[in-house]
Amino acid sequence: MIQLKGQLLAARGSKLKIGYARVSTTGQDYETQLAKLQAEGCEKFFSEKQSGKSADNRIELQRAIEFAREGDVLVITKLDRLARSMGDLWAIVRELEAKGVAFKVLDQAGMDTSSATGKLLFNILGSIAEFERDLINARTAEGRQAAKAKGVKFGRKEKLSAEQIESLKADFEAGVLSKEAIANKYGIARNSVYRLVNSDKPD
């Protein structure tokens, strides 16, 4: 074990194939992933049992990316072992590219950014991911506009009832309590006092 570790450290000056394996359920074949990565010639391995929804909660994946150096290749068996969305995949590949690290998927032909064809394929995937994100943002904006037209209000719901708001206005107009005291009485922020007092006044 010590000898193997020493060999790996000595090899840090050359290109390494780094294997990453992930399972999210006990039914998935973790050993099969490792066998394929070993057959590919991976010399360093990172593995974990974790959900694939986001790269942020996968500690071993982050360790693999941090370990990788320029010229190395991060290898996985299937695309869904790394990401569950186009946006997530594109973000990971861009992070690897920034470090000069290639990315290869064994079970998907052409998924190898160390080749010109693989780079082209991932650029296309990146464009699709960006298009999907823009489409979702546009639909969200359209939905909000349609909801506003129907009178739907966004933001935090008002804490006070209509009766409480009327009582607050009466306290304000009476001038007995300070604005800070009114805010404390109704459990709201001081700037909310001004907003509520002027809420029904014409522009």
Distance CA 57, CA 174 (A): 55
pLDDT at 6: 46
Tokens representing 155 are: 């933001």
Q: How far is CA 36 from CA 33, 133, 177, in A?
A: 5, 34, 75
Q: Tokens 């072992």 — which residue? A: 81
Sheet holding 73-76, edge to edge: 44-49, 17-23, 73-76, 102-105
pLDDT at 68: 94
Q: For the domain 2-121, what is the CATH superfamily, name and number?
A: Resolvase, N-terminal catalytic domain (3.40.50.1390)
Distance CA 11, CA 4 (A): 11
Q: Give DSSP secondary structure letters for 175-199.
A: T-S-HHHHHHHHT--HHHHHHHHTT
Domain map (residue ranges) of the chain: 2-121, 162-197
- Angle at CA of residue 22, ends 114 and 40, nearest 5°: 40
The residues, any chain, with a CB within 8 Å of residue 57's CB and separated by 6 or more, are 50, 51
Q: Which residue among the candidates 24, 54, 167, 192 is catalytic per the annotation?
A: 24
The reply to whether 24 belongs to the active site is: yes
CB 167 within 8 A of CB 173: no
pLDDT at 178: 82
CA 32 centroid distance within chain = 28
CB 24 within 8 A of CB 17: no
Residues of the chain below pLDDT 50: 1-6, 9-11, 202-203
* Residue range 125-148, pLDDT digits in tens: 767 666 666 777 788 877 777 777
Residue type, 48: E
Distance CA 195, CA 113 (A): 56
pTM: 0.56
